[in-house]
Amino acid sequence: MTLEALKAHIEAASKITSKEFQRLFHGRGGLYETWRHLTIDSIDSILSVALYFEEPHEQELLAMLIAFAKNAHYTTLVVQRRYQKESPTEVLLGELPDDLYVLENGMKIKLNLTSNQNNGYFPDMKKGREFVRENAKDKRVLNLFAYTCAFSLAAKMGGAYEVVNVDMSKGALKTGMANHSLNALDPRGTSFLPYNILKSFSALKRKGPYDLIIIDPPSFQRGSFEASKDYVKIIKKLPQLASEECLLLSCLNAPNLESDFIINLMQEFAPSFQYVKRLENLAEFASKDEEKSLKNLVFQRVSREMC
């Protein structure tokens, strides 16, 4: 894809933008070899660019994007160089507001575009949050690896009776609390627990059983979680945490692990949970190999008589 073709691509994509978040270009799916380390996002009046590898044509690329932003409705252009140490962020046009948030289906989620890594929002998980919102009514929800609690927002807006958010990071949970306040959600029935999940099953069991469980771990986080060896520890505990008809959303974003990794673990260690489906990913996050992309897998617990 040439620079001119890239420009035409984002111009076409930007014609259907709104105040809600939209990915204009997703090179990381491997469909565009020339720009496979580039993402471009539309966040209301902000154009946000991320470079995951040093781009030999970076200056030409950024000059094109500045001109594009000026001719479109964008007042701010920010670029993050994820390939550099501490992932520095540079504002090339305009300025970033102090209290920035992103909109998703009317839900507000705080955003930090100057963070050295994660900005507080994972846009590819939108379908997962929609699923939770559609299935949370009157349920007790357990949100594991809650991070900034976007799933909790979805559950509460979907009418959840109770939501238990669990994450090791007190800072992330503090942002999660702010997200709930930002959306004017009633704090009653929502808890934020700074636990090491792998060491806290007894405490979580006492708060259960749960009717909807969300497992959304990092693929690899040094010293705390590694999907290839630690996911099974959670799956083994599911029967103790879940209600009789519990619904489970099991998320996996490790390119080296396929859907069958989770499905097989469930069959072996939590056979009362039957595989239902994999949620479709957003079209704008299309990948050359879908098994290397985000995997949102839905399971339903069934009684022994039905197994």
CATH of the domain at 130: 3.40.50.150
Does residue 175 share a domain with residue 80? no
Q: What confidence tier does 280 reach under pLDDT thresholds 50, 70, 90?
A: very high
Q: Residue type at 126?
A: K
Q: Which pLDDT does position 116 carry in this prediction?
A: 66
Does residue 139 share a domain with residue 64? no
Q: What are the residues whose beta carbons fall under 8 Å from the beta carbon of 6, sequence distance 6 or more?
A: 25, 32, 34, 35, 61, 64
Distance CA 6, CA 65 (A): 10
Q: What is the CATH number of the domain that holds 29?
A: 3.30.750.80
User: What is the pairing mode between strands 162-166 and 140-144?
Assistant: parallel
User: What is the pairing mode between strands 140-144 and 210-215?
Assistant: parallel
pLDDT of residue 283 exceeding 80, the answer is yes
Of 79-83, 93-97, 117-121, 197-201, give the lowest mean pLDDT range.
117-121
Asked if 262 contacts 242 with a C-beta cutoff of 8 angstroms, the reply is no
Greater confidence, 55 or 159?
159
Q: What confidence tier does 264 reach under pLDDT thresholds 50, 70, 90?
A: very high
Chain Cα centroid distance, residue 201 = 24
Name residue 109's beta-bridge partners: 102
Asked if 298 contacts 132 with a C-beta cutoff of 8 angstroms, the reply is no
Q: Is residue 170 a part of any domain in this protein?
A: yes
Which structural domain range is residue 302 located in?
A: 123-306
pLDDT in tens, 83-111: 888 778 899 999 998 889 999 999 999 99
Q: How many domains does the chain have?
A: 2
Q: Which pLDDT does position 16 carry in this prediction?
A: 80
41's tokens: 């996002």
pLDDT of residue 251 exceeding 50, the answer is yes
pLDDT of residue 219 exceeding 80, the answer is no
Does residue 177 share a domain with residue 92? no
Provide the mean pLDDT of the chain. Answer: 92
Q: Is residue 115 a part of any domain in this protein?
A: no
Distance CA 304, CA 193 (A): 32
For 170, counting Cβ atoms within 10 Å of its Cβ (0-12 exposed, 13-18 middle, 19+ buried), the class is exposed
Residue range 238-262: mean pLDDT, rounded = 95
124's tokens: 């590819």
Does residue 282 share a domain with residue 197? yes
pLDDT in tens, 127-174: 999 999 999 999 999 999 999 999 999 999 999 999 999 999 999 999
Q: Residue type at 152?
A: S
Does residue 213 share a domain with residue 73? no
Does residue 26 share a domain with residue 137? no
Does residue 147 share a domain with residue 217? yes
CB atoms inside a 10 Å sphere around CB 221: 14
pTM listed for this prediction: 0.92
Q: What confidence tier does 306 reach under pLDDT thresholds 50, 70, 90?
A: low
Q: Which pLDDT does position 86 carry in this prediction?
A: 76
Q: Which pLDDT does position 307 carry in this prediction?
A: 47
